[in-house]
């Protein structure tokens, strides 16, 4: 069985807030890169709580990267904290969907959960779309869309102004192929962006919660789920979330019982 790996190299971080100070005293006199490396050292020394605290301090001031979330998940995994581990790995996977190490770590973390939910089978088109989207980063699909667009334009001009019948024929078919690949790349980029920015999933963060038939504690019990289970939030009403499990079950849980990925 593979082990959980620590990412030693920090990926480019997205700064969401530029002019705020670090909330922790340990971070106030350090650059984010230095704090990240210090957290790595704490992890390697076996001080997982200190490492998690430092990684989390970077997250809370607005820094985001797959490496940061992956290392945060590694630290929580060593501490045996189910929901924070899965949350961190899920967030890392959103930022780097094609990263095999992150997917492996997430799979290991999911073995920590109590619930054994058998998901409904997805349509072939949905599975294929997700597989293709995760094959490359969102930025790569954007680049490919532009490349194929320019290729289509060039081939179309060659078709219009080509002097030979053979040249016109293959340039026309090349134009159609490039146009189709451009549309595919653009569509996969949009799908990836939608998954990243409009993710409807949350992770249960309490030890266990009983889903109700309506958004009220007086509602009938529908099913119970435990910490670390991934749910799809369908709607929210009066501090209650209507959720759907992977097996199709639907119920209402208090909003504070789960945290958005």
Catalogue the E-assigned strands of 87-215.
Answer: 201-204, 208-212
Q: How many domains does the chain have?
A: 3
**Does a structural domain hold residue 94?**
yes
CATH label of the domain that carries residue 239: 2.30.30.40
Q: Tokens 């208090």 map to which residue?
A: 254
Q: Model confidence over 192-217: pLDDT tens digits?
A: 888 888 889 999 999 999 999 999 99
Residue the block writes with tokens 């230095």: 34
Q: In terms of domains, do 96 and 38 share one?
A: yes
Q: How far is CA 166 from CA 3, 108, 171, 177, in A?
A: 57, 56, 8, 17
Per residue in 102-150, pLDDT (tens digit) is 999 999 999 999 999 988 887 888 888 888 988 888 889 999 999 999 9
Query: Which range of residues forms the domain containing residue 154?
Result: 124-197
Tell whether 62 is covered by a domain.
Answer: yes
- Reported as a single tens digit per residue, the pLDDT across 78-110 is 999 999 999 999 999 999 988 999 999 999 999
Q: Which residues contact 242 (CB under 8 A, 6 or more apart)?
A: 215, 233, 234, 235, 236, 250, 251, 252
- What's the whole-number mean pLDDT along residues 9-20? 42
Residues 178 and 240 placed together within one structural domain of the fold: no
Average pLDDT across the chain, whole number: 88
Residue 156 placed within a domain: yes
Residue that finishes a domain, picked among 142, 168, 197: 197
Assess whether 101 and 25 both reside in one domain: yes
Of residues 7 and 239, more confidently modeled: 239
The pTM for the full model equals 0.75
Closest to 149 measured CA to CA, from 120, 115, 182, 124: 182
């Amino acid at each position: 069985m593979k082990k959980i790996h620590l990412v030693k190299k920090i990926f480019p971080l997205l700064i969401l807030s530029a002019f705020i100070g670090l909330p922790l005293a340990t971070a106030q006199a350090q650059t984010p890169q230095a704090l990240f490396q210090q957290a790595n050292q704490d992890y390697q020394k076996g001080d997982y709580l200190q490492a998690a605290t430092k990684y989390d301090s970077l997250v809370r001031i607005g820094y985001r990267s797959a490496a940061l979330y992956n290392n945060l998940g590694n630290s929580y995994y060593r501490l045996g904290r189910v929901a924070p581990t899965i949350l961190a790995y899920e967030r890392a996977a959103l930022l780097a969907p094609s990263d095999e190490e992150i997917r492996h770590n997430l799979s290991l973390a999911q073995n920590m959960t109590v619930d054994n939910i058998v998901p409904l089978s997805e349509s072939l088109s949905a599975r294929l779309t997700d597989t293709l989207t995760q094959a490359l980063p969102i930025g790569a699909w954007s680049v490919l869309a532009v490349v194929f667009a320019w290729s289509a334009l060039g081939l179309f001009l060659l078709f219009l102004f080509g002097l030979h019948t053979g040249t016109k024929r293959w340039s026309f078919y090349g134009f159609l192929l490039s146009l189709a690949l451009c549309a595919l790349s653009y569509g996969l980029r949009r799908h990836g962006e939608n998954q990243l920015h409009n993710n409807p999933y949350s992770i249960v963060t309490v030890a266990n919660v009983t889903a109700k038939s309506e958004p009220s504690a007086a509602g009938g019990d529908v099913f119970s789920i435990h910490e670390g289970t991934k749910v799809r939030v369908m709607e929210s009403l009066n501090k209650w979330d209507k959720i759907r499990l992977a097996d199709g079950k639907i119920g209402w849980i208090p909003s504070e019982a789960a945290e958005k990925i």
